[in-house]
Amino acid sequence: MSKVSRRNILLISIFWLFIGLCVGALALGWAIDHVTIVEFAPDDMIDLYVSIGLTAALVLLAYLLLGFAGHFLLGDEESTARQAIGFWLRLLLILAFIGACVAGILALAARGEQIFFWRYPLPLWVIGDPILEEPLFAAHRYAAYLLAGAILIYLLYAAYDHLRPAAPVAPGGALELAAAPTLAALIADGLAQGFRFFGGFAFWLQLLLWIVSALLLVFAYVGHTISPDRSRLSDAIYWATGGVALLILTTLFAFKYMKTARWIRSRPTAYLGHERRMAFWFVGLGGFISIAGALISFVGVGLSVALLIGKTVSQPPGIAITDPQKIIRALDVFILLVNINLLFAHFIGFGVAAWLSISAWKARHQYLLMTDGGD
C-alpha cells in the first residue's frame, strides 16, 4: 500500500472517530436534558459530557493538522462535484462543532464552574458575568442541533457514496503544460503549489479566527444589549464589526487562492502569458482589503485598550465601586480579544497576498523567458 493511500486511510479513520465522539456527546447531552439517570449525579454527567467533547476537539485538531499537511481537506487537483459536496459537508460539521465547543466553554466560565477533563481539573477561567450564561448556553444548544443535523446529512452522503460510487474520471487530453518546455512547466507547478499551500494556510487560519471573533462579538452584543448598566463599548464594537465583515471577504479571497492552483497548473499560459498581466488581480484586491481590515482592527484595539486603562485609572484603591461604568467587565475583554484576533487575521491575509503577488510576478518573468527562449 502506498504512503498516500495509508495517509488517507488514517485521516478517514480519525474523522470517523471524531464523528463517533460527537454522536456520543450529543446523545449524552440529550440524556442530561431529557432523561433522569439515578446512578449518576448531574455534575458527573456534565463532566463526562465535557470530557467527551474535549476529546473530540483533540481528535479534530489532529485531523486538521494531518489533513492540512496532506492537503486532504483541500481536495484533489481534479476534484469532482461529489467530492466538493463532501468537502462542504465536512466543513459545515467542523464549524458547527467548533461553535458548540466555544459557546459551551464560555457558558461554563460565565457560570463559574470548574471544568474537568477526565477527572483532571483544567485552569479555571471565570468570566464573572452571569447575565451571559443563558445566551451562551442557548448558543451552545443551537450549535449542537446544527451539529446533529450536519452529522445526519453527512452520514446519508457517505452511505450514498459507498453504495453508488462515482465513476472514475477518465484522464482528459494533454494539458497545456505538455506543450511547454520542461522548465516552464516546473515554474508553473511551483507557483501552483505556493498558491495552494499559502491559500489553504490563510483560509483555515482566518476561518478559525473569524469563528472565534464572531462568537465573542455576538456575546458582547447580547451582553451590551441586555445589561442594565450599558458599558461604553459602542465605538469598539462598531470597529470590531467592520473588521469581522472584512475578514469574511479576505477568507473568501484565500479560498480563491487555494482553488486557483489547479488552473495555474493546467492552464499556465492563461495566468503567466504575455496578455495576462492582470490575471492575478484578485491577489492585489485581497491584500488591499486585508490592509483596510488591519487598520480598522488596530483602531479597535486602541479604543479597547484606552477603555480598559480609563476604567483602571478611575478606580480608587480600597473603595467599593458603585458606578457600573467604572467596572471592568467581561464585555470589555471580549471586545479587546475580538480586535486582537482580527488584527492578527488581517495581518496574515496581507502577508499571504504580498508573498503570492511577488511569487506570481517572479514566476511570470521566468515563464516568459523560458517560453520565448523555447520559441
Which of 40-49, 111-120, 276-285 has the least mean pLDDT? 40-49
pLDDT at 170: 45
What is the per-residue pLDDT for 84? 74
Phi, psi (rounded to 5 degrees) for 171: -60, 135
Tell me: the pLDDT tens digits for 42-98?
Answer: 667 788 888 888 899 888 888 877 766 554 444 444 456 677 788 888 888 888 898
Give the ranges where the chain is alpha helix by DSSP (H).
3-34, 42-70, 81-111, 133-163, 182-226, 234-266, 269-272, 281-314, 330-374
pLDDT of residue 40 exceeding 50, the answer is no
N residues, the chain: 375
Query: What pLDDT, on a 0 to 100 scale, did the predictor assign at position 234?
Result: 53
- Range of weakest confidence among 6-20, 205-219, 361-375: 361-375
Q: How far apart are CA 255 and CA 20, in angstroms?
A: 29
* pLDDT for position 276: 66
Kindly indicate the confidence band of residue 270, based on its pLDDT and cuts at 50, 70 and 90: confident
Confidence of residue 129 (pLDDT cuts 50, 70, 90): low
* pLDDT value, residue 99: 86
- The answer to whether the CB of 84 falls within 8 A of the CB of 75 is yes
- Per-range mean pLDDT, top range of 70-79, 99-108, 316-325, 329-338: 99-108
Residue type, 164: R
Share above pLDDT 70 across residues of the chain, in percent, rounded to a whole number: 72
Q: How far apart, in whole angstroms, are the C-alpha atoms of residue 57 and residue 65?
A: 12
Cell numbers standing for residue 334:
471580549
pLDDT number for residue 120: 78
- For 324-334, the pLDDT digits (tens) are 555 556 677 77
pLDDT at residue 229 in the model: 47
Q: CA nearest 56: which of 124, 127, 118?
A: 118
Q: Which pLDDT does position 329 carry in this prediction?
A: 63
As a whole number, the mean pLDDT across the chain is 76
CB 349 within 8 A of CB 287: yes
pLDDT at 349: 92
Whether 176 shows a pLDDT value over 50: the answer reads no
Give the least confident one: 85-99, 269-283, 311-325, 343-357.
311-325
Is 90 exceeded by the pLDDT of residue 350? yes
Q: Which domains does the chain possess?
A: 1-172 (1.20.950), 181-375 (no CATH)
- Of the CA atoms within 13 Å of residue 276, those in its CB half-sphere come to 17
Residue 236 confidence (pLDDT) above 60: yes
pLDDT tens digit string along 187-200? 778 888 888 888 88
More confident: 227 or 369:
369
Residue that wins the pLDDT comparison between 137 and 371:
137
How large is the angle between the packed helices 182-226 and 81-111, nearest 10 degrees? 30
pLDDT the model gives residue 296:
92
Backbone angles phi and psi of 251, in degrees to 5: -65, -40
pLDDT at residue 230 in the model: 47
Angstrom distance (rounded) from CA 262 to CA 172: 14
**Contacts for 199 with CB less than 8 Å, ≥ 6 apart:** 254, 255, 256, 257, 258, 259, 260, 261, 352, 356
| Cα–Cα nearest to 196, from 74, 304, 305 | 74
Give pLDDT, residue 182.
61
123 vs 266 pLDDT, higher one: 266
